[in-house]
Structure 1
Amino acid sequence: MAYTDLELFARLIQCEAGGEGDDGMRAVASVVMNRVNAPGGEYARIGKGSLRNIIYQKGQFDCVREVVGGKPNSQLVYNMSPEQIHYDIAEWAMLGNRLTNLGQALWYFNPYKPECRVNFPSKVGEFAIRIGDHCFYNPTEYYFET
């Protein structure tokens, strides 16, 4: 079954940040849309303004990988059952809204420890803020050389 962009995005938000509260889900949605609208670098070339290109970019979101760590991934976007909040946040982000304290963050990850790395994954991103369990990173000038 082919999902609309809204349905696919709502499923991704639920899968990637469903347990992070409203701001955590908004932050993840903001990162996805920042990638869609990136003015340069890898995401501008791959995304080309397409939400689907960003969501399905290889190696970016565990929720679209059928295998994670050598095992079948039961937490796939296809297995999600989004609720109204997930659709609302997806629409909010698609309409151009972003969390203001996030900047132009292009990456996030859960370090499974209290502190966030200063750079992500090398010098392409610098720490911006932690929201819930996720650390968020804004692009540096090095990112635009990718």
Structure 2
Amino acid sequence: MKNNYMKTLVVACVATIAFIGIQTSTAEAITQSPVVKEVNLIELGQQKGLNTINIEQDNNRPDNWLEIEKKLENPIQPKATEKKASKPDKKTPKKEKEKPAVTLSNKEKDLFARLVNAEAKGESYEGKVAVATVVLNRVDSPDFPDTVTGVINQVVGGTYAFSPVQNGEINKPASDESKRAVEKALTRKDRLNNSVYFYNPEIAEDQWIRTRPVVKTIGDHVFAK
């Protein structure tokens, strides 16, 4: 009986010791776990060569601790490539107004436009420019007067060279299109191969003019040299 009692006591003691050992190991394991200390961001940044201002500027989010932690672990990082501002679209340059190659007074321009209006009445803008071009070609030719006014008022065989001057149609105001046609002709971009004549083959009575080399036909008018 005594032996059984002693065996029971020994077993109880062993169990107690084992339990105490387990508790001690657990306590040690818990005690050995790293204690998270409060991080002093300024001191840690100085150790890594950074400061909070750098971190905030780089991340633009001072509360983003994950980015801060990565920055502190690897302080030498290439700066993000800045996006270049897109270049503004180049504005289409304004088209400069064509400068006239021939300069006329306002009075002479008005006379010129009234002749074009009378001679090319009912013709297209291109046709009006062509009539004005013939007048300027005559100014340049040694066979005609050397001014616009002189060409318009030229008398040939007892009559005016241009019928509107003869019948008075030239005295009517010029249209805006006729004025523009004169300005266009003055730039001298297209000289119609130096044509110095034009006529309407449906009504022209002069047979001589029909023998002139034809350069171009525009509307009802034939232009010749």
User: Same fold, TM exceeding 0.5?
Assistant: yes
The structure, 1 or 2, with the larger RCO (C-alpha pairs under 8 Å, 6+ apart) is: 1
Contact (CA 8 Å) 2:132, 2:182: kept in 1 or not? yes
Deviations, residues 30-80 of structure 1 (Å, cap 9, x unaligned)? 101100111x3x21xxx12x1000000013100100xxxxxxx3x5211x2
Q: d(CA) in 2 for partners of 1:33 and 1:98?
A: 11
Residue 55 of structure 1: aligned partner: 152
Q: How high is the sequence identity, in percent, across the aligned residues?
A: 29
- Offset at residue 96 of structure 1 (A): 2.4
CA change 1:112–1:121 in 2 (3 A) is closer
Tell me how far apart the structure 2 counterparts of residues 56 and 97 of structure 1 sit (CA, whole Å).
25
Larger radius of gyration: 2
Which runs of no fewer than 5 residues in structure 2 stay unpaired?
1-105
Tell me, in whole angstroms, the C-alpha distance in 1 between the residues paired with 2:216 and 2:124: 16
Match of residue 77, structure 1, among 146, 170, 175: 170
2:120 corresponding residue in structure 1: 17
Residue matched to 2:85: none
CA contact (8 A) 1:26 1:98 kept: no
User: What CA distance in whole angstroms lies between the structure 2 residues aligned with 1:10 and 1:133?
Assistant: 19
Structure 1 position 110 matched with structure 2 position 200? yes
Residues 197 and 224 in structure 2, CA contact (< 8 A), matched pair in contact too: yes
Question: RMSD of the alignment, in Å?
Answer: 2.1
Deviation at 1:121, TM superposition (A): 5.0
Q: Would you tell me which structure has more helix in proportion to its own residues?
A: 2
Structure 2 contact 125–178 (Cα < 8 Å) conserved = no
In terms of fraction of residues, the more strand-rich structure is 1
1:83 positional shift: 2.1
Runs of 4+ in 1 over 2 A off after TM superposition: 94-99, 119-122
Superposition TM-score, scaled by structure 2 size: 0.46
Alpha-carbon offset, residue 120 of structure 1: 2.7
Which secondary structure state, in structure 2, belongs to the residue aligned with residue 26 of structure 1? helix
Cα distance in structure 2, aligned partners of 1:21 and 1:91: 15
1:1-146 equivalences in 2 (<5 Å): 4-38=107-141, 40=142, 42-43=143-144, 47-48=145-146, 50-58=147-155, 59-65=160-166, 73=167, 76-78=169-171, 80-98=172-190, 102-112=192-202, 120=209, 122=211, 125-138=212-225
* Contact map agreement 2:130 2:185 (CA 8 A) in 1: no
